Amino acid sequence: MPTAVEVRDLKAWFGKTEALHGINIAVESNHATAVIGPSGCGKSTFVRCLNRMHETIPEAKAQGEVKIGGMDIYGVPAVDVRRKVGMVFQKPNPFPSMSIYDNVAAGLKLNGTRNRKTLDEVVEHSLRQAALWDEVKDVLKKKSGASLSGGQQQRLCIARALAVDPEVMLMDEPASALDPISTAKIEDLIFELKQRLTIVIVTHNMQQASRVAEYTGFFLMGHLVEFDRTEKIFTNPSDKRTEDYITGRFG
Amino acid sequence: MSNKYLQFRRRFTDYLATFVAALLSAVVVGTLVAIFAYLVIKGAGSVNWAFLTRTPKPVGEIGGGMANALVGSALILGMGSLMGIPFGIGAGIYLAEYGRNRFGAVVRFTADVLNGVPSIVIGLVAYGLVVFTEGHFSAFAGGVALAIMMVPMVARTTEQMLLLVPQAVREAAFGLGIPQWRTTISITLATARAGILTGIMLAFARIAGETAPLMFTALGNQFWSFSANQPIAAVPLQIYTYALSPYDDWHRQAWAGALVLVALIVGTISLVRFIFARSTLREAR
Amino acid sequence: MTRIRFHQELDDLKHRILAMAGMAEQAIDLSVQAYSQRDPALCQRVLNNEGAINRAEREVDEFAIDLLAMQQPMAIDLRFILAVIKINADLERVGDQAVNIAQRVLNMIELPASELPVDIPAMATKVRAMVRDALRSFIEGDTELARHVLEGDDEIDRMNHEAFATLSKYMQDHPEGAVQALDALSVARNLERVADHATNISEDVIFWVRGADVRHGAGQTLAGS
């Protein structure tokens, strides 16, 4: 299977502090890969390097080779990378000044697409993919993005990210602010989306990692300690540090 | 035993604080109401059709109005806003989105200082910049003076409102591959527009009543003028002139002018709020 | 160390399964002793204790299932609990075999004693040693000892086959002693089953400690690792 994301010797800094010390990882396409680890281990930093969001923080720097679908992300403008690699954040963040329709269409509209028909189609398609269409199809332009419930808002953000047709979707603890039913819906969604995209999901919740991801990487203090199939990590990890973390002996 | 005392003391302090706050609010509102009431009492009788449509009569004669001053104020405020608002918003955007550095700190400091400069000094600056170089007083010079006053006010409130937009909203836009400039205009600005509008309205209300800067720039005019390059009448100027005069009729007209000025400012702000309230109704839901 | 309550409960689980193991071991010891001494009182004790073993099996299973549901154990903790559940079942079967032996002995005592060409007590001693070693490997988490138990199973199988062959011949030659011979054969088979359970327990210990599934001979190639 071709790898969707290839990372070689990725290092990242916040000012003078080195937060990632040379990460090497290959993420398989059309699979979900979970990134786990204790607070401050660098998992969010790692994922934010993949779509070059890390560098939007003042004094932040990244170095190394990252290839998404064969494309070197440091060889093209950051804006292009981010159209290929979508992101969903921990706290749902729909654009408050826009309707549901405008939220989903934002990625396309603000990048030049004007054709009404195209936008309509993409909005419907994305909302269907995010399992939100039936709930909002009658109030697309009347309700603002922020007037939905938490779970719905997060699915709206997913639809919005899907609308630009990315190859890879990064999810930074997408369900941690949601109730169990919304979480389950999002997990089902991930299962569906895997057929079309590659997903990298950062999660604090190990049960979630084991439910949705085929592969899991364990990060600790800026290092990738172990990366393997999820069943192996959770039943018989190779590294003692991984075992200590997942059995709750620390972290 | 002491527990009951503590409970009582807490409740008493709570009521006392609430009472004091209410009292102070009442003082503020009361003052406003008193001013407006006084204006109405003193001026309402003199506000009539003649007042609103005629130009001032020569010195000593009874009658006439402030029509030219009303038009003049509108013109000066229009020009001032047209120049001041864009620069103010632009500076505000710079400070909020790009100005987290030394240069930004300098700009911010300058704006704060400018906000504190007495309006008469700004009038003198405008005099030197425009009146002196052009060789004559003009409505345009008045507009410039007011614009100079508007810019730092609008810049600071715009900056504050933009900073209130959560970083998460910008990040969402970046994540979609939207460039920073586009994000700022279409998303951050749009999100903060209610607050920015309020800031603009406040600045507008402030400059609408300014008299000192207009004294050396617009100068004032007895007659109709619709030109930007000539001296022009303005309501605050007219009020000033009439109030200091020894003529009762002019005093009467000064009161009327004050009432009309306040009413127009309140009216303009209300109108703008009403127009924009409909488009922001969705967010309120 | 975090998850204090969970680790206390894991310890609790270990104690319960070891108590269960004690009961099962005692049952085997008593039944084998009853065979050697032809003592009906010992047989009765074994039969009386069966209820306690069955109760303990239910309690251990319940406790283990609760831990799985409530604590979401992972990796070694998960393997430990699964191993305990399986060992629990094996120990209950060992108790059953002890009961079978005791019942067989009660039958035997009714008949006159006869000299049979099989050394059941010798086989019994080996089997009891296997059970003891398997349980010790569990207490210590000692996979070497567990592997040693696995190797001992071949010897017991051989002894069982030998007993079968010898007793078959005996029954042909001495038809009047057939019933006693069958009794002895039955006891031999019971002991062979107990040995199997001891090997199961050892395989579960290896699974728990190493995460390797060495059942059904799969582990022989791993002998060096």
Q: What is the pLDDT of residue B283?
A: 45
What is the distance between the alpha carbons of residues B173 and A95, in angstroms, rounded to a whole number? 8
Residue B50: predicted pLDDT: 81
Selecting from B175, B177, B190 the residue whose C-beta is nearest the C-beta of A80 gives: B177
CATH number for the domain that contains residue B131: 1.10.3720.10
| Residue tagged 């527990």 (tokens) | B3
Same domain, B138 and B11: no
pLDDT value at residue B285:
38
Of B187, B151, C73, the C-alpha closest to A145 is B187
**Partner-chain contact A161 B282, CB within 8 Å:** no
B279 at interface of A, judged by CB pairs closer than 8 A: no
Report the distance separating Cα B146 and Cα B110, nearest Å.
17
Binary contact (A93, B172; C-beta < 8 A)? yes
**Integer Rg of chain A from CA:** 18
Q: How far apart are CA A246 and CA A243, in angstroms?
A: 5
C78-133 confidence digits (pLDDT tens) = 999 999 999 999 999 999 999 999 999 999 998 888 888 888 999 999 999 999 99
Rounded to whole angstroms, how far apart are CA atoms C81 and C75?
10
Answer yes or no: do B66 and B28 share one domain: no
pLDDT in tens, chain B (285 residues): 678 899 999 999 999 999 999 999 999 999 999 999 999 998 888 888 888 888 888 877 777 788 889 999 999 999 999 999 999 999 999 999 888 889 999 999 999 999 999 999 999 999 999 999 989 899 999 999 999 999 999 999 999 999 999 999 999 999 999 999 999 999 999 999 989 999 999 999 999 989 999 998 988 888 888 888 889 999 999 999 999 988 888 898 899 999 999 998 888 888 888 887 765 544 443
Residue B201 C-alpha, separation from nearest chain A C-alpha, in angstroms = 20
A163 Cβ contact list (under 8 Å, min separation 6): A104, A105, A106, A107, A108, A122, A123, A126
Q: B105 and B228 share a domain?
A: yes
ipTM of the prediction: 0.91
Provide the number of structural domains found in chain B: 2
- The gap between the terminal CA atoms of chain B, to the nearest Å, is 49
DSSP code at position B57:
P
Do B234 and B256 belong to one domain?
yes
Half-sphere exposure of A27 (CA within 13 A, CB side): 33
Query: Is A201's Cβ below 8 Å from some Cβ in B?
Result: no
Do the chains contact at A236 and C1, CB–CB below 8 Å? no
Interface of A with C (CB under 8 A): 206-207, 234-237, 243, 246-251
Q: Closest approach of chain C CAs to the CA of A207, in angstroms?
A: 8
Q: Say whether pLDDT at C223 is over 80.
A: no
Round to whole Å and give the CA distance between B232 and B225.
6
**How many angstroms separate the CA of residue C82 from the nearest CA in chain A?**
11
- Is the Cα torsion angle A35, A41, A46, A47 positive or negative in sign? positive
Please judge whether C1 and A250 are an interchain contact, meaning their C-beta atoms are less than 8 angstroms apart.
yes
Distance of CA A29 to the CA centre of its chain: 14
For residue C161, give Cα distances in angstroms to A102, C164, C198.
Answer: 81, 5, 19
Mean pLDDT computed over every residue of chain C: 91
The answer to whether residues B168 and B234 belong to one domain is yes
The residue ranges of every structural domain in chain C are 4-224
Q: Are A218 and A228 in contact (CB under 8 A)?
A: no
Q: Which residue of A has its CA nearest to C208?
A: A236
Whether residue B110 sits in one domain with residue B182 = yes
C73 touches chain A (CB under 8 A): yes
Phi, psi of B99, deg, nearest 5:
-105, 30
Q: Could you state, in chain order, the average pLDDT of each consecutive group of 10 residues for chain A (251 residues)?
A: 84 94 94 94 94 91 93 92 94 93 94 90 94 91 90 94 95 90 90 92 90 94 95 92 89 59
Residue found under tokens 């890879």: A168
- What is the CATH code of the structural domain delimited by A3-246? 3.40.50.300
Q: How far apart are CA A52 and CA A157, in angstroms?
A: 19
- Please state, in angstroms and rounded to a whole number, the distance separating the CA atoms of residues C103 and C121: 17
* Domain boundaries of chain A, sorted by first residue: 3-246
Tell me how far apart the alpha carbons of residues A203 and A156 are, in angstroms, rounded to a whole number.
Answer: 20
A217 alpha-carbon distance from chain centroid: 14
Beta carbons of C75 and A237 less than 8 Å apart: yes
3-state secondary structure of A170: strand
CB pairs under 8 A between A and C: 36
The closest alpha carbon to C34, from C119, C105, C115, belongs to C105
Residues contacting C200, CB < 8 A, separation 6+: C86, C87, C90
With a cut of 50, say whether residue C217 has pLDDT above it: yes
Q: How far apart are CA A30 and CA A32, in angstroms?
A: 7
The DSSP bridge pattern shows strands A60-68 and A71-72 to be: antiparallel
Q: Is the Cβ pair A243, C76 closer than 8 Å?
A: yes
Reference B238, options B104, B95, B52; nearest CA is: B52
Instruction: Tell me which chain A residues have a C-beta less than 8 angstroms from the C-beta of B99.
Output: none
Rg (CA), chain B: 24
Query: Do B176 and B54 have their domain in common?
Result: yes
Q: Which chain A residue is nearest to residue C1, measuring alpha carbons?
A: A249
Which uninterrupted H or E stretch holds A71? Answer: strand A71-72
Instruction: Name the H helices within B100-247.
Output: 102-116, 119-126, 132-134, 139-164, 167-175, 180-183, 189-208, 212-215, 235-244
Task: Report the topology of domain C4-224.
Answer: Methane Monooxygenase Hydroxylase; Chain G, domain 1 (1.20.58)
Measured CA to CA, the distance from residue A49 to residue A59 in angstroms comes to: 14
Neighbours of C169 (CB within 10 A): 12
- Residue C130: predicted pLDDT: 96
Element (H or E) spanning A136, and its range? helix A133-136
**What range does the domain containing B25 cover?**
2-46
pLDDT, tens only, C14-35: 999 999 999 999 999 999 999 9
* Shared domain check, B89 and B23: no
H or E stretch including B75?
helix B67-93
Q: Do chains A and C touch (3 or more CB pairs under 8 A)?
A: yes
Q: What one-character-per-residue DSSP string does chain C give?
A: ---HHHHHHHHHHHHHHHHHHHHHHHHHHHHHHHHHHT-HHHHHHHHHHHHHHHHHHHHHHHHHHHHHHHH---HHHHHHHHHHHHHHHHHHHHHHHHHHHHHHHHHHHHSPP---S--HHHHHHHHHHHHHHHHHHHHHT-HHHHHHHHHHHHHHHHHHHHHHHHHHHHHHH-GGGHHHHHHHHHHHHHHHHHHHHHHHHHHHHHHHHH----GGGTTGGGGG-
Q: Are B231 and B250 in contact (CB under 8 A)?
A: no
Residues B28 and B65 in one domain: no
Chain C contact probe: residue of A235, A240, A244, A250 with most C CBs at under 10 A: A235
Report chain C's terminal Cα–Cα distance, integer Å: 30
Q: For residues B176 and B201, state if they share a domain.
A: yes
How many CA atoms are closer than 13 Å to the CA of B226, on its beta-carbon side?
Answer: 0
Instruction: Provide mean pLDDT across the span C58-67.
Output: 95
Under an 8 A CB cutoff, do A248 and C2 touch? yes
Chain A nearest-CA distance from B114, in A, is: 29
- Give the chain A residue nearest C212 (alpha carbons): A236
C-alpha to C-alpha distance for A179 and A193, rounded to whole angstroms:
21
Whether A90 has its CB under 8 Å from any CB of chain B: the answer is: no
Residues B147 and B175 in one domain: yes
- Chain B: residue nearest A92 by CA? B168
Span C45-61, average pLDDT: 96
Q: With contact defined as beta carbons under 8 Å apart, do B44 and B259 qualify? A: yes
Q: Is chain B touching chain C, with at least 3 CB–CB pairs below 8 Å?
A: no
